Amino acid sequence: MAVLLFLRIYKTLVGLVGILGNSLVIVVICKVSFMHTLTNGFICHQAVIDLLGSLFLLLQSNIPVPVPVPETLSGEILCRVWIGDALLWLLFVTSTFSLLALTIERYIAIVYPFRFNAIFSQNSAIVIGVGVWLIGIALKSYSFMIYTVIDGICKFKPIPGSNFIGPLLIVLQYFVPSIIMLFSYTHIMVTLKKSAAQVAPLSLDRRGAPSAPGERIVNEQQESLLRARRNTFKTLVIVFAIFLVCWTPSQATFFLFNMGWIKIDFDGPLMVFNTVLVASNCCINPIIYSFKYKQFRKAMNKMIGRRIARDDGLNPSAITVTAESATRQTHVS
């Protein structure tokens, strides 16, 4: 009972943090104009899914279910959708494929930049977003069939073919996306290193000034673009690494269980530990963005600055001018 109480408290805290953090990500991206990019659109979509996952975590941890569960149609629906966590895992898996879509978008943008505009647009992003949900529903429809009410208790009940379907679904929902993302980030890292080596150094005259007009501007633009791509890449690599940490134990455990190689106590410490890790993934990404994603931090500071200016009755543009003046003075000194 103590373990289950801990799990309930932890899921409640994760749900609250996830709701607040993902709501902040959504608001910042929607409110600040320079955040309206395709990449940030995918990040916003990811935050919406994680927000829903956090909400369901909070509700499931605090809304009591009837005991015994009625052996009726409504009881079966309650068991399969709510008590059996099918809907929650649907959101978790959809979040995985949303992260995969974000990774592929960055992969094409950096590794194949000349093909990017032909592949990605606002319409294609919407199609990808819908596809992510359809894949999640297709893969987790199995979870709606493996729970049923027996003697007033919602229990796991293997169906014919479980020994094959279970491992296959885990491969499709975890191992395949993970391998694709690992390959993508590795290739992106190699490409960014090559791009850094190709940024031409400035040719200087005897006085130390750029010898070719406009060369300095081009060089600075190249370096600025490279820095921005590196920052986004590093942020997403951290998101991917945390995803692996949170998901690998549970998926490895379920894979071995479905293969019949181990037995699982669904209320035991191992499953509680696995559930804690997967649940944590709902609320971690906003924290990563806040500390590592420079564009998000800049947008958040801009939004907060505007709010403070309005509350104080000041002109936001005046604050901007003052800040720019201070920056110039800093550079001069």
Check whether 26 has a pLDDT greater than 60: yes
How would you class 169 by CB atoms within 10 Å of its CB: exposed for 0-12, middle for 13-18, buried for 19 or more?
Answer: buried
| Residue 217 pLDDT grade (very low, low, confident, very high; cuts 50, 70, 90) | low
Q: How far is CA 260 from the centre of its chain?
A: 32
CA–CA distance, 91 with 145 (Å, rounded to integer): 17
Residue 143's pLDDT band, with cuts at 50, 70 and 90, is confident
Both tokens assigned to 246: 């949170």
Lowest mean pLDDT among 109-113, 141-145, 202-206: 202-206
* Helix, coil or strand: residue 333: coil
Q: How far is CA 267 from CA 1, 101, 161, in A?
A: 9, 34, 25
What is the pLDDT at residue 164?
87
Within a 13 Å sphere around the CA of 70, how many CA atoms are in the beta-carbon half? 7
User: What SS3 state is found at 295?
Assistant: helix
pLDDT computed for residue 219 by the predictor: 58
Output the six-digit token pair for 27.
């608001």
What stretch of H or E contains 149? strand 147-150
pLDDT value of position 321: 40
Could you tell me the domains of the chain? 2-195+221-292 (1.20.1070.10)
pLDDT tops 90 at residue 212: no
Contact between 54 and 18 under an 8 Å Cβ cutoff? The reply is: yes
What does the alpha-carbon distance between residue 165 and residue 163 come to, in Å, rounded to a whole number?
Answer: 6
Q: What are the tens digits of pLDDT across the range 246-299? A: 999 999 998 998 888 888 877 777 888 888 899 899 999 999 999 999 999 999
Half-sphere exposure of 219 (CA within 13 A, CB side): 13
Collapse the DSSP code of 230 into the 3-class scheme (helix H, G, I; strand E, B; otherwise coil) and give the result.
helix
Under the banding of pLDDT at 50, 70 and 90, the label for residue 313 is: low
Element (H, E) at 253: helix 215-258
Write out the DSSP string of 35-87. G-SHHHHHHHHHHHHHHHHHHHHHHHHHS---SSPPSSHHHHHIIIIIIT-HH
- Closest by CA to 282, choosing from 94, 7, 39, is 94
What pLDDT is attached to residue 326? 37
